[in-house]
């Protein structure tokens, strides 16, 4: 398992490079796999809610009026799931996660990344119990809010944890483990929904919602086994513990150079934060480039329309004419494509580069979205829905769309914000990325069914227009960060970029930049 490596690092304040010693140990992979379980919890929730809202037993218990509308005549097919309270069931989780992500950045600094993940799993276990045992809508929503707090804490701590324990040359791949687990969580949820709805038509939703307890329990138990990151230990004044941890995860006692580098970065960040808080520092002109990129990556990720598919695929496929089980099965197929295509990204991201992956995906997504919109439009004109034959073509097109998202905007939405901030603003800056993701996930979850009702086939053209905008953004404004050491971003990337360089004065950038 272990293989030797040498990592290039820029020494603080100097131009020379030196190498860190170490191996890729089984322990670093174990810690990475356990921490990524946080993504599994997030993904399971994304995938489970759409299937549950398509189950009759669930609708009869909590949303009888939607159930009645669903089984009425077909003339208003696009509107049969349009219900604000039903959408609140899905979206409330993301609103809670949005609020929690701000607190999570402080928790990560004060308690450490490991404890923050542990806390996430506790909220998750509580939320799961409330949802699975819900006797009324209030209990269900409170359960979703607890799950949301767990997601907010987990999504902040896990990507940071992964980046900090990873040897630099496999940082991209380890970081993408998080998104890989998100997609696996969605797929598992789709499979669970498929079986619970057929085996237990009236109570299947309870098993589906209860299943979220499994990844939460794994993360809770796993968090007792994994280590805290060396950076977090040193940051909190526990340098000896940081050294011991580094020795263990690198499989060598020769970790002096890397430890010094971490300590130097922590001291520089501490000196800066004694002068000025990270929030104030983020308001500086020099902080704008990474902040704009981090927020834009997440906003655009959501405006690809991915969660319209992930949350509501079963509902969408029913709208198009599939029977209930056929639509759940189709959601399983799209979920599978999502997982496999994320694996492609692990291999490609450090070879092909971020910009090329994102631009290629924009082209592929644009074609697929426009084609789905066109098919739907033809049938809306004829006042009908596409029916099973066309619905199969639509499933294929949605797979084409999902695959390109999964090797680009999905993982890179997390990777790029985690690698472009200097250490002094990294956790706080990253929390803006997490909260932007949650805010826009909430908006899509809350608005999509109503948008589908009023826009019908045009919903797909709406997302297609956003894809054109984000392609232009990547083309002109997103710098390539492939292979750039994390502490050289200011000099190598931002100061050389045709647009972003104007945000740096000759004297000022070093203050926020390289530690
Ligand atoms: O794989 C799709 C999933 O990935 C995310 O974009 C997170 O990166 C989720 O919002 C979405 O449901």
CATH number at residue 420: 1.20.1250.20
pLDDT at 11: 35
Strand partners, 7: 20
3-state secondary structure of 376: helix
pLDDT at 445: 78
- Is residue 397 one of the residues assigned to a domain? yes
- Is residue 377 one of the residues assigned to a domain? yes
Q: Which domain holds residue 198?
A: 26-503
- The torsion of the CA quartet 165, 169, 175, 181, rounded to 10 degrees, works out to -100
pLDDT tens sequence for the chain (515 residues): 344 444 444 333 333 434 566 778 999 999 999 999 999 999 999 889 878 887 889 989 988 888 887 776 554 555 766 677 777 888 889 999 999 988 898 899 889 999 999 999 999 999 999 999 999 999 999 999 999 999 999 999 998 899 889 887 777 788 899 999 999 999 999 899 889 988 888 899 999 999 999 999 999 999 999 999 999 999 899 999 999 999 999 999 989 988 998 898 888 878 887 778 888 889 999 999 999 999 999 999 999 999 888 777 777 777 776 776 777 777 888 899 999 999 999 888 888 989 999 999 999 999 999 998 888 887 766 666 666 677 788 889 999 999 999 999 999 999 999 888 887 888 889 899 989 999 998 888 778 777 877 787 788 899 999 999 999 999 999 999 887 766 677 888 899 999 999 998 865 444 443 32
- Is residue 12 one of the residues assigned to a domain? no
pLDDT at 12: 35
- Is residue 9 one of the residues assigned to a domain? no
Q: Tell me which residue of 183, 185, 191 sits closest to 402, measured CA to CA.
A: 183
User: Which atom of ligand 1 is closest in space to residue 311's alpha carbon?
Assistant: 12
Count of structural domains, the chain = 1
User: Model pTM greater than 0.90?
Assistant: no
Burial class (CB in 10 A: 0-12, 13-18, 19+), 144: buried
Integer Cα distance of 60 and 324 in angstroms: 15
ipTM of this complex: 0.96
Q: Atom 8, ligand 1: which residue's CA is nearest?
A: 410
- Is residue 4 one of the residues assigned to a domain? no
Distance 185 CA to ligand 1 centre (A): 10
- Is residue 393 one of the residues assigned to a domain? yes
* Ligand 1 pocket test target in 36, 44, 46 with most atoms within 8 Å of CB: 46
DSSP string, 259-284: HHHHHHHHHHHHHHHHHS-HHHHHTS
pLDDT at 32: 94
Q: Atom 12, ligand 1: which residue's CA is nearest?
A: 307
Kindly state if the Cβ of 334 falls inside 6 Å of ligand 1: no
Strand partners, 22: 5
The 10 Å CB-count burial string (b at 16+, else e) for 4-25 is ebebebbeeeeeeeeebbbbbb
Kindly state if the Cβ of 310 falls inside 6 Å of ligand 1: yes
- Is residue 125 one of the residues assigned to a domain? yes
Contacts of 300 (CB under 8 A, 6+ apart): 409, 413, 466, 469, 470, 473
- Is residue 93 one of the residues assigned to a domain? yes
Distance 437 CA to ligand 1 centre (A): 9
Three-class secondary structure assignment of 463-511: HHHHHHHHHHHHHHHCCCCCCCCHHHHHHHCHHHCCCHHHHCCCCCHHH
Distance 411 CA to ligand 1 centre (A): 8
Q: Atom 7, ligand 1: which residue's CA is nearest?
A: 410
């Amino acid at each position: 398992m272990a293989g030797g490596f040498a990592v290039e690092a820029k020494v603080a304040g100097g131009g020379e490079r030196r190498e860190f010693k170490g191996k890729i140990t089984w322990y670093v992979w174990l810690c990475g796999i356990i921490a990524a379980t946080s993504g599994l919890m997030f993904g399971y929730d994304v995938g489970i809610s759409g299937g549950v809202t398509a189950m009759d037993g669930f609708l009869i218990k909590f949303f009888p009026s939607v159930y009645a509308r669903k089984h009425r005549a077909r003339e208003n097919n696009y509107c049969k799931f349009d219900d604000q309270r039903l959408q609140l069931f899905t979206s409330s989780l993301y609103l809670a996660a949005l609020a929690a992500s701000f607190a999570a950045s402080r928790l990560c600094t004060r308690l450490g990344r490991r404890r923050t993940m542990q806390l996430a799993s506790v909220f998750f276990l509580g939320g799961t119990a409330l949802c699975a045992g819900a006797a009324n809508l209030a209990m269900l929503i409170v359960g979703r809010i607890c799950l949301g707090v767990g997601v907010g804490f987990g999504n902040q701590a896990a990507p940071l944890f992964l980046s900090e324990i990873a040897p630099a040359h496999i940082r991209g791949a380890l970081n993408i483990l998080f998104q890989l687990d998100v997609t696996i969580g969605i797929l598992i949820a789709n499979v669970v929904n498929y079986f619970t709805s057929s085996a237990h038509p009236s109570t299947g939703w309870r098993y589906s919602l209860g299943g979220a307890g499994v990844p939460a329990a794994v993360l809770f138990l796993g968090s007792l086994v994994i280590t805290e990151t060396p950076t977090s230990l040193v940051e909190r004044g526990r340098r000896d513990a940081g050294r011991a941890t580094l020795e263990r995860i690198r499989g060598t006692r020769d970790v002096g150079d890397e430890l010094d580098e971490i300590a130097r970065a922590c001291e520089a960040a501490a000196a800066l934060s004694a002068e000025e808080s990270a929030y104030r520092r983020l308001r500086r002109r020099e902080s704008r480039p990474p902040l704009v990129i981090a927020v834009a990556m997440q906003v655009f990720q959501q405006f690809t329309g991915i969660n319209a598919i992930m949350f509501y695929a079963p509902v969408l496929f029913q709208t198009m004419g599939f029977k209930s089980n056929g639509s759940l099965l189709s959601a399983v197929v799209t979920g599978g494509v999502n997982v496999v295509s994320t694996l492609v990204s692990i291999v490609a991201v450090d070879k092909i580069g971020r910009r090329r992956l994102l631009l290629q995906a924009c082209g592929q997504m644009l074609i697929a979205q426009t084609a789905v919109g066109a098919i739907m439009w033809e049938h809306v004109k004829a006042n009908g829905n596409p029916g099973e034959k066309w619905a199969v073509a639509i499933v294929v097109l949605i797979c084409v769309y999902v695959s390109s998202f999964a090797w680009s905007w999905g993982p890179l939405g997390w990777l790029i914000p985690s690698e472009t901030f200097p250490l002094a603003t990294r956790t706080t800056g990253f929390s803006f990325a997490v909260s932007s993701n949650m805010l826009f996930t909430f908006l899509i979850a809350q608005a999509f069914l109503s948008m589908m009702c009023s826009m019908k086939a045009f919903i797909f053209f709406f997302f297609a227009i956003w894809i054109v905008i984000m392609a232009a953004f990547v083309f002109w404004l997103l710098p390539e960060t492939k292979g750039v050491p994390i502490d050289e971003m200011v000099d190598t990337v931002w100061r050389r970029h045709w647009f972003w360089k104007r945000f740096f004065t000759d004297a000022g950038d070093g203050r926020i930049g390289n530690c």
